[in-house]
Amino acid sequence: MTSGPAPKKADAAAATVGDVAARAGVSRATVSYTFTQPNRVSPDLRRRVLAAADELGYVGNDAARRLRVGHSLALGLLVSNMSNPVYAELAAGAEAEAAAHGRFILVANSDESPARERAYLNFFESQQVSGILAAPVGDVPAELLGLRERGTPFVLVGVAPGPHSYPAISGDNERGGYLAASHLLAQGRRRLIFIGGAHPHVDLRLAGVKRAVAESPEPAALEIIRIEVQTAKVGEAVARTLLRRSATGFPDGIVAGNDLLALGLLHGLIVGGIRVPEDLSLVGYDDIEFADFAIVPLTTIRHPSAALGASAVRILLGMESEQDTEGRFEPELVVRATSLPAPGDDA
């Protein structure tokens, strides 16, 4: 309203290809080619078009673009709980890789709710994302399969390729569980508890724990405690119930399904007077940043979340295959202070 003919930038309506074309004195097709196939247009015109676009603050309308080409530049990332640093890291890794290829990540936080998960999957479809990264949220939702049939590929992140045949990349969770339990057994711990939620990757961790116990030369007991969600709050609650046990029923080693849970357990146990690691050794899983800052720095299994996120993006973009990642995300035991050094480790 106020501005004369000179500055067009501040105009209310967004500039369209038509506006740019008019200003550059070319057709709309030329403007489009300038952006999608720069070599198709001569350098001279290209410059003119780009200048006009710049002056008008042209941004393009992805809706129109998508309507025509059928898919968006975005990739969807579905996680169960963004306040778990593991997922934040996964998202950061995916995002950085996506940005490097001019792509974007849409993050959906299902908060462990299947309903929201479904809603977000629909949202992804309505957004025509060109692919979906799904971090484990229980079973593979049927919607995901439907999406694939309708042309949107997905990659499961953090779930080992198992009996299912879905594309998936993951660290070796079974081996991680095995490492954790072996570490405890090597210290002479014999009354172990595994505490974890019902996620496929957690089940694998448990399988590894079981295998370590089964292979142990000395007999050892393993108890399994199932919880709903693996949060610090739940960890504290479990610690309180544990504290009510008699000395004979009390464990001397715990493997937690993830670090968040372990941190809560640790806090609850210490508040309850348990000495860690003297009375009980604790091993977490993931090696989140805060594991090192805990009241007693947490022994845990390192899990390369950011690298997984980046790889998943490359796979969806067709720059890498599942097989290429083979053996690239090996879990690793990080011994800190919630467990005793293993007898052989006293170097």
User: Does the protein bind DNA through residue 27 (CB under 7 A)?
Assistant: yes
User: Does the protein bind DNA through residue 116 (CB under 7 A)?
Assistant: no
Minimum distance, C-beta of residue 2 to DNA, in the bound complex (Å): 22
Q: Which does 120 bind (CB under 5 to 8 A by kind): its own copies, DNA, none?
A: its own copies
Q: Coil, helix or strand for 283?
A: strand
For 239, the enclosing helix (H) or strand (E) is helix 232-243
Give yes or no for a contact between 169 and 162, defined as CB atoms under 8 angstroms apart. no
Closest CA to 255 of 282, 237, 277, 229: 282
Encoded one letter per residue, x for contact with DNA by CB under 7 A and - for no contact, window 55-94 reads ---x-xx--xx-xxx-------------------------
Look up residue 157 and give its DSSP letter.
Answer: E
Within 38-67, which residues bind its own copies (CB under 8 A)?
Answer: 57, 59-67
Give yes or no for a contact between 95 and 84, defined as CB atoms under 8 angstroms apart. no
Q: Which does 45 bind (CB under 5 to 8 A by kind): its own copies, DNA, none?
A: DNA
Encoded one letter per residue, x for contact with its own copies by CB under 8 A and - for no contact, window 112-131 reads ----x--xx-xx-xxxx---
Minimum distance, C-beta of residue 49 to DNA, in the bound complex (Å): 9
Q: Coil, helix or strand for 303?
A: coil
d(CA 91, CA 281): 31
Encoded one letter per residue, x for contact with its own copies by CB under 8 A and - for no contact, window 78-107 reads ----xx-x--xx-xx--xx--x----xxxx
d(CA 221, CA 135): 32
Closest CA to 95 of 323, 308, 328: 308
Binding residues for its own copies, rule: CB under 8 A, are 9-14, 57, 59-67, 72, 82-83, 85, 88-89, 91-92, 95-96, 99, 104-109, 111, 116, 119-120, 122-123, 125-128, 146, 149-151, 232, 263-264, 266-267, 289-290, 292-297
